[in-house]
Chain A
Amino acid sequence: MKCALVFRHKFVKFRTAVAVGFLLLLSACDSGTAVLGAASPQTSTEPGSETDSAQQSQGGTQWPKIALYGNVIKGPAACVITVEDMSGRALASSQSQSNGAYELVFDGETNAIGLIASNCRYTDETTGELVEGVTLRAGVDLSEVSGVNTNTEHRVKVNVTPFSDVAYTAALQSFSASGEVVTADVLSRFNTAVSHLLDGPEFNLLSDDPILASQTGAYEADVGTGIERHQRAVKFGLYLAAFSGTGEVANNISLLAAELDEKSPTFGNQTADTLIRGASAFDLSGRNTQGLSAVSMVTAETNKRKRITPLTSTDKHGPDNSNTPAASPNTESAQISRVILSVRNGTGSGTYDVGRDQTLIISANDIPGKVFVGWQGDTQFLVNPNASIAEINWPNVDTQVNLEAQYERVATLNKLSTKDAVSRFLTRAGFGASQDDLETWEGLDAADWLVNEFAKAPELLLSQTKTDLEATQNNNAPFSRYASYNLTRQLIESDAQLRVKMTYALSQILVVGGDVVNNGKTTIRGMNYHDVLQKHAFGNYRVLLEEITYQPAMASWLTYLRSSKANQDTGAEPDENFAREILQLFTLGLFELDSGGRLRLGSDGKAISIYDNDDVAQLARVFTGFSYDDTQYKLNYNKNRSVSHLPLKIFDEHHSEREKVFLNAYIPENTSGEASVSLALDEIFSHSTVAPFITRQLIQRFTDSHPSPEYIERVSQAFDEGRFLSANGTSFGDGDRGNLQATLAAILLDESQFVESPAAEIQGKVREPLLKFIHFMRAFNVENLEFITRTGRIKDLTSVDSLGMAYFESPSVFNFYRPGYVPPLTQAGAMGLTVPEFQIADSSSFYGFIGLMTDFILERPLVRNCSDIANLDSNYQGLEPCNFANGEQPFRPNYDQEVALAANPTLLVDHLNTLLLGGRMAVDVRQEITDVISLIPLEPGSYDTNLRDRVRVAVLMFATAPTYTVIW
């Protein structure tokens, strides 16, 4: 057992620590490990100092990334959140939302940290008063969070509450507080723990609380194993109960205090007194019954006991501040005043007792891709508000000082300075770089690439499909095959890479599936649906919504084609299918989101449903009366092919004449169909949730499987404003809400995609199999597409060697995978990250992908068993896959450049690493590939074949590498 709960052991450690005069935070889990920690902020003498012994002593080690998230709860409180190590050095900061939710990522610390929520605004539950400027804190001993070690990433939930603040204060005097507030059964847990503390040699969860221990399985998906989690819960329960004010607990605390007093007078007095005092001041809900802030109360109490450490000279930070204001009449406070300093985007946050001859220094963080432009906030205290390392004029009264470093993006943020950068950018923005792209775009700005792409015209497929149809005069196969053939060819061949990629992305949001697009006689309407997506790919989302609403493919797919007004005779009501899905999938989802895509919470603490079933039933009335644009409502589809792809017409006599009341809309009775549709879409589109809901999914399609709220917020802003200004000053969008050029530019040029950040190792997009396949086809200019795309091999979803997905072949309107899918039993899943594409990565999919790529990369015939060709013939439509001339292949990747390098395996691997992966492949994997292809000797009789074999094997290894699947 790695982490036995031994309270007594802790206390022993603590006493040792006190004896050397430092306030220490202890690790319960690594017995034998040195005591960890540093001086508290209150005794820090060098705020903002650039040196940090703990950091330096670990120089060269790799810090794990820690993502902290949770809520600030005192009523939901909006605060500045700063993570500090115990010397008061800020590691990262962020802002909690109005609902109290926050999230931030940092590294550089694996032991004790403090979470400081300062500048909080909340509405007092009791008085209804708006309270501002409150600080609440929580402490976490990361060493107790299971698995924190090097080379890993962790997600830790920490709620900041009055309890945690009190616990934090107590921790400063004793040991670190827990990572989580757990209220269940606190009292009994507390009593059990206390009785064992007093009576037994140690507290062991397994033997002392078997019921609790037996529940471990339920929590394993959370941080730590169940037992570790419960150990933390019990420990925190001690604090929580201590401040609960119940008589029984208070009584036990007295016993505990007496016990501790015997062992260590200093510790016992300090801890027990604080606990008892806290217990009398807080009720179970965490409300302070005396109307005092937790901070001030406990601080006042502890300060009585605290020995104020004389502050050392701060000469090295600059000269004494001769501008110090004159001492106040109160000489005591003139000598020592308390400064509560909150520094956002910088170091120096903390609470300081400052003497008149001392100086406080703050320092702005270096943020890659940004330049510091000045401080904002209480800049009157700064000697020079424009300096990134700035000196504070300490006020000689107790003061709270809030400062935030301000930045601008550097103008060269989006510059594609290397071939690797080009490759990585085009893999996100498009389908990967071709060999030519690497030459063309090196050294240019990614914004220029976007401008270039936005100018490219749509490449529409309807007319080609019509021509094919007329040539065959046959509604059925092979017509449908031509359709999927044209679709797939466009992914591989189109020069309008971004437009096609956006069409592809939209096809996974505004989903219309296979049998409607590709099936025999329905091909025309399917191709026209594709064309509508492509035409509007750089247009406006509101306009696009209206276009698709009138599309026969959509109406057929979501069954509102000829959905009629309620029929009194048959009892039939309008079909609700489209009404529900346009809300749930195409615009809003289910719940209100803030602009960062986080759930807004209602006063009951729950997510706010945007609509209920009555809204859906009412909205269903809007989508009635749609049929083909002809004279008759009930026209036979087959007889009417010439209009079957045209926008539908609403037959008002079949359109519901009743009123339509949904969301905040009221459409009066007898409103015409077209007017109703327009009003309904306006109402839906006006909701503030549209931007985060849609942009989060677009981001997932291009760059990031689990985008951060900040990223979503930046893109939502571009969507809502219809405009985006890139770092180099290029303006995108027309200013209309829903502009997709601005949205795309915001996604693709976002700062998170162009700077190395600590969060990068948990970022990235898992590419779906089709995207990976298209990347290969484009990177090597695969020729003879006629054969490949007609064989059905690519779109066959049932074959063992299959991609498992094909363009416009989703099985349902819910797409191949859900944007909210969290993969079980993965590191990502343990962190609660959404990874949609993992939903189709079942254990057999790897055979499908590797198998299909093998056939293409190794240039092998797609028909395995040519003796069986008679049975396959219908799939090949006149092509003869088994009857190629000697040496000819059914298709041919262009490996010329690679073959030219293959005599030197290292050069070949380096080249592929740039072309396919933007230089991201790990060194040891590159070495393995080099070694493997070196096994293929270059022999005189087969020199050219040997070179080509090296290339094929190398490409196969690259295309099956995890770094090919996951882009970042």
Chain B
Amino acid sequence: MQRRDFLATLAATGLGGNALFNSQLMNHALAAEGTFESDYKALVCVFMVGGMDHNDTILPYDEAEYAQMRSVRTGLFDAYSALGGTYSRDRSALLPIDPINNEAVEGRRFAVPQQLSGLKDMFDDEELCFVGSVGSLIEPTTRTTYANKSVQLPPSLFSHNDQRNYWQGLATEGAKAGWGGRFIDALGASGQIGDSSRFASISTAGNNLFASGNKTSVFQIGSKKMPTLNVEDNKSLLGNNAHMDQVRARLFNYFRDNRADHANLLASDYHQLQSDALLAGDQFRDQFNSAAEFQTSFPSNFYGPQFQNVAKSIRVAKAFGLRRQIYFIAAGGFDTHATQSENLPWRQASLSDSLRAFSTAMKEVGLWNNVTVFSAADFGRTLVSNESGTDHGWGSHHFIAGGRVKGKRIVGKMPRYNPDGEEYTKSRARLIPTVPIEQYSATLGKWMGVTDASIDMTLPNLNNFSTRTLDVFNS
């Protein structure tokens, strides 16, 4: 971005001056009164960094299928049995999930481990659905066409960083805009974001491709209170006297100044990033930190505080006059090559418990119908295990949850568990997706109100598939 464009953007979004901005903000809040609840939409991406094992998330519950899966993952299942209790993946320890649309899964039965009881409850309450066999695809692909390379395959399959980027932005490492950010770009271009578009894309987990657009930059709120600069906030650091007040005032501008240019491109970029971060932070912080707490309590695990901050941020969206937002939540450790039985369950519980608290909190403020949460990960994992873990796979199963979701259903495809089956690659039975990421994204984009034309622009391979969207939302 050129300096003058950047400054123009700042001016346009009101980042230039606080006092002025806050009075504008009040006006927007008033103007938005009455329409917010009927119009506002937030899309929340929950990313499982490392690639979660979908076969350890939704397990077969019919006895024969259960036995078949267990036979190709003996070491893993035995390790779970040895831990026992809620960890056990013995069939009797699993929680069955029985979809309304059981004809779509040919009457087969499935179950989740006890750590995912929150997801099961939401499923049963018809506010969460599972999507089977989602993953990166350029065009429909089978075991045969994969093996003989007669179709275009996604680049750099099985590589963490590349597939993570592909999930988030349909391109490999080096990509600059993800599909979430580009949806926001499109919504912004058609005037659907509302005011304060600087906060249309928010992350609790740092910079990420999903939420970055060609015009949309990610605003980081983290999982704690929004920080101040200690030198500004704590007068004792420099000294509480008149000349130090002057120094502080000058430092305030120095940190935020975007006039002092530098011949060096990177230094200039760094200065602009810092200036934008502090100015936006100034603007967002007071509203956010003073937002009322929820009665719902969030677990203090590694997803909980992130969900809590997203909930708080959604709560203050109205004051900023925002109509559409995307959020990015992420946590790692899902790359369970070894000792999966020790590493996965508590992460699953963290996700499940946190999501459930989030939905409760959203209901508390009457916004659950305005929110959709979906899961994503680098990839699924091999059906055939190594001794105590699983290796990089391809397709995976995911969930979509929210007040408008047609819940208690399984869409997409649930594969059988024969490693030599058509659903898998030959080596180690990596699941070949049948639902392309782009169909999954288009479904979510459509819900956000993104036009078909903009969806096509964002999702280049969508039209290689016969169906554009999944049947997931109540109209």
Query: Are A and B co-members of a single complex?
Result: yes
Partner-B contacts on A (CB < 8 A) = 147, 151-153, 214-215, 217-218, 220-221, 558-559, 561-564, 567, 569-577, 580, 584, 590, 613-614, 616-617, 705, 760-766, 800-801, 811-812, 814, 818, 820-831, 833-835, 838-848, 850-851, 854-855, 858, 860, 864, 922, 924-925, 928, 931-933, 935-937, 949, 953, 956-957, 960, 962-963, 965-966, 968
A764, A830, A839: the one contacting B207 at CB < 8 Å is: A839
User: Known interface pairs A827-B269, A846-B278, A960-B255. Does A577 touch B250 (Cβ–Cβ under 8 Å)?
Assistant: no
* 15 further contact pairs, Cβ within 8 A, besides A563-B386, A847-B281, A966-B264: A567-B387, A569-B74, A573-B385, A575-B391, A577-B338, A590-B162, A821-B174, A826-B272, A826-B273, A839-B207, A846-B273, A922-B263, A936-B243, A962-B267, A968-B266
Across-interface contacts of B238 in A (CB, < 8 A): 858, 949, 953
Q: Which residue of A lies closest to B268 (CB)?
A: A827
Assess the A829–B176 pair: CB atoms within 8 A. yes
The 9 A-B residue pairs with the shortest CB-CB distance in the complex, in nearest-first order: A559-B338, A843-B277, A570-B74, A962-B267, A559-B337, A842-B220, A847-B227, A824-B176, A966-B267
Across-interface contacts of B49 in A (CB, < 8 A): 812
Determine how close the nearest CB of chain B comes to the CB of A890; give it in whole angstroms.
14
B interface bracket (residues with beta carbon within 8 Å of A) = 35 or more
Across-interface contacts of A935 in B (CB, < 8 A): 243, 246-247, 250
Write 12 A-B pairs (CB below 8 A) sorted by A numbering. A220-B215, A571-B384, A575-B391, A613-B158, A613-B425, A765-B266, A812-B49, A826-B269, A844-B221, A953-B238, A957-B251, A968-B266
User: Known interface pairs A563-B386, A842-B207. Does A949 touch B212 (Cβ–Cβ under 8 Å)?
Assistant: no
Per the bound structure, the CA–CA distance linking A572 and B337 in Å amounts to 12
B213, B222, B386, B453: the one contacting A574 at CB < 8 Å is: B386
Per the bound structure, the CA–CA distance linking A925 and B262 in Å amounts to 10
Across-interface contacts of A858 in B (CB, < 8 A): 231, 237-238
Assess the B175–A822 pair: CB atoms within 8 A. yes
Assess the B246–A843 pair: CB atoms within 8 A. no
**Interface: B185 (CB within 8 A):** yes
Per the bound structure, the CA–CA distance linking A569 and B385 in Å amounts to 12
Assess the B247–A965 pair: CB atoms within 8 A. no
Assess the A841–B270 pair: CB atoms within 8 A. yes
Assess the B229–A850 pair: CB atoms within 8 A. yes
A571, A812, A931, A936: the one contacting B71 at CB < 8 Å is: A571
Assess the A844–B174 pair: CB atoms within 8 A. no
A215, A824, A936: the one contacting B212 at CB < 8 Å is: A824
Across-interface contacts of B457 in A (CB, < 8 A): 215, 217-218
Across-interface contacts of B160 in A (CB, < 8 A): 812, 814
Across-interface contacts of B454 in A (CB, < 8 A): 217
Determine how close the nearest CB of chain A comes to the CB of B355; give it in whole angstroms.
22
Per the bound structure, the CA–CA distance linking A825 and B254 in Å amounts to 22
Determine how close the nearest CB of chain A comes to the CB of B340; give it in whole angstroms.
10
A151, A215, A762, A830: the one contacting B1 at CB < 8 Å is: A830
Q: Which residue of B lies closest to A705 (CB)?
A: B266
B447-474: CB near A (< 8 Å → 1, else 0) gives 0000001100100000000000000000
Per the bound structure, the CA–CA distance linking A35 and B1 in Å amounts to 28
B161, B176, B247: the one contacting A814 at CB < 8 Å is: B161
**Interface: B206 (CB within 8 A):** yes
User: Known interface pairs A705-B266, A843-B276. Does A822 touch B176 (Cβ–Cβ under 8 Å)?
Assistant: yes
Assess the B231–A573 pair: CB atoms within 8 A. no
Assess the A928–B254 pair: CB atoms within 8 A. yes
**Interface: B296 (CB within 8 A):** no
Assess the B1–A572 pair: CB atoms within 8 A. no
Which of B71, B176, B419, B430 has the most A CB atoms < 10 Å from its CB? Answer: B176
Across-interface contacts of A764 in B (CB, < 8 A): 264-267
User: Known interface pairs A564-B387, A842-B206, A932-B250. Does A820 touch B278 (Cβ–Cβ under 8 Å)?
Assistant: no
Across-interface contacts of B263 in A (CB, < 8 A): 151, 761, 922
Assess the B158–A841 pair: CB atoms within 8 A. no
Assess the B264–A613 pair: CB atoms within 8 A. no
Determine how close the nearest CB of chain B comes to the CB of A919; give it in whole angstroms.
14
Assess the A573–B428 pair: CB atoms within 8 A. yes
Per the bound structure, the CA–CA distance linking A939 and B213 in Å amounts to 53
Across-interface contacts of A760 in B (CB, < 8 A): 264
Across-interface contacts of B415 in A (CB, < 8 A): none
Q: Which residue of A lies closest to B385 (CB)?
A: A572
Q: Which residue of B lies closest to A921 (CB)?
A: B262
**Interface: B293 (CB within 8 A):** no
**Interface: B214 (CB within 8 A):** yes
Per the bound structure, the CA–CA distance linking A829 and B247 in Å amounts to 35
Across-interface contacts of B161 in A (CB, < 8 A): 814, 818
Per the bound structure, the CA–CA distance linking A324 and B265 in Å amounts to 51
Per the bound structure, the CA–CA distance linking A55 and B328 in Å amounts to 51
Determine how close the nearest CB of chain B comes to the CB of A842; give it in whole angstroms.
4
Classify the secondary structure of B's interface with A.
loop
Across-interface contacts of A217 in B (CB, < 8 A): 185-186, 189, 214-215, 454, 457
User: Known interface pairs A824-B212, A825-B217. Does A834 touch B174 (Cβ–Cβ under 8 Å)?
Assistant: yes
A580, A835, A962: the one contacting B158 at CB < 8 Å is: A580
Assess the A800–B2 pair: CB atoms within 8 A. no
Across-interface contacts of B267 in A (CB, < 8 A): 764, 962-963, 965-966
Across-interface contacts of A762 in B (CB, < 8 A): 264-266
Per the bound structure, the CA–CA distance linking A844 and B157 in Å amounts to 32
Which of A838, A841, A847 has the most B CB atoms < 10 Å from its CB? Answer: A847
Per the bound structure, the CA–CA distance linking A823 and B209 in Å amounts to 10
User: Known interface pairs A766-B270, A824-B217, A844-B281. Does A936 touch B158 (Cβ–Cβ under 8 Å)?
Assistant: no
User: Known interface pairs A843-B277, A962-B262. Does A152 touch B2 (Cβ–Cβ under 8 Å)?
Assistant: yes
Determine how close the nearest CB of chain A comes to the CB of B310; give it in whole angstroms.
15
Assess the B237–A860 pair: CB atoms within 8 A. yes
Across-interface contacts of B276 in A (CB, < 8 A): 843
Per the bound structure, the CA–CA distance linking A562 and B389 in Å amounts to 12
**Interface: B271 (CB within 8 A):** yes
Please provide the chain B residues from 153 to 167 with a CB less than 8 Å away from any CB of chain A in the complex: 156-162
Assess the B254–A932 pair: CB atoms within 8 A. yes
Please provide the chain B residues from 252 to 306 with a CB less than 8 Å away from any CB of chain A in the complex: 254-255, 260-274, 276-278, 280-281
Assess the B207–A572 pair: CB atoms within 8 A. no
Assess the B247–A614 pair: CB atoms within 8 A. no
Which of A558, A571, A855 has the most B CB atoms < 10 Å from its CB? Answer: A571
Across-interface contacts of A800 in B (CB, < 8 A): 222, 224-225, 227
User: Known interface pairs A573-B384, A820-B173, A854-B229. Does A843 touch B247 (Cβ–Cβ under 8 Å)?
Assistant: no
Across-interface contacts of B273 in A (CB, < 8 A): 826, 838, 841, 843, 846
B363-379: CB near A (< 8 Å → 1, else 0) gives 00000000000000000
Across-interface contacts of B175 in A (CB, < 8 A): 822
Assess the B272–A614 pair: CB atoms within 8 A. no
Determine how close the nearest CB of chain B comes to the CB of A588; give it in whole angstroms.
12
Assess the B74–A572 pair: CB atoms within 8 A. yes
User: Known interface pairs A617-B427, A957-B251. Does A835 touch B230 (Cβ–Cβ under 8 Å)?
Assistant: no
Assess the A590–B159 pair: CB atoms within 8 A. yes
B72, B162, B230: the one contacting A851 at CB < 8 Å is: B230
Across-interface contacts of A215 in B (CB, < 8 A): 457
**Interface: B140 (CB within 8 A):** no
Assess the B230–A855 pair: CB atoms within 8 A. yes
Across-interface contacts of A854 in B (CB, < 8 A): 229-231, 237
Which of A570, A825, A933 has the most B CB atoms < 10 Å from its CB? Answer: A825
Assess the B176–A823 pair: CB atoms within 8 A. yes
**Interface: B194 (CB within 8 A):** no
Which of B227, B278, B384 has the most A CB atoms < 10 Å from its CB? Answer: B227
Per the bound structure, the CA–CA distance linking A249 and B72 in Å amounts to 63
Across-interface contacts of B75 in A (CB, < 8 A): 567, 570, 572
Determine how close the nearest CB of chain B comes to the CB of A559; give it in whole angstroms.
4
Across-interface contacts of A968 in B (CB, < 8 A): 264, 266
Q: Which residue of A lies closest to B208 (CB)?
A: A842
**Interface: B50 (CB within 8 A):** yes
B429-445: CB near A (< 8 Å → 1, else 0) gives 01000000000000000
Per the bound structure, the CA–CA distance linking A826 and B1 in Å amounts to 6
**Interface: B85 (CB within 8 A):** no
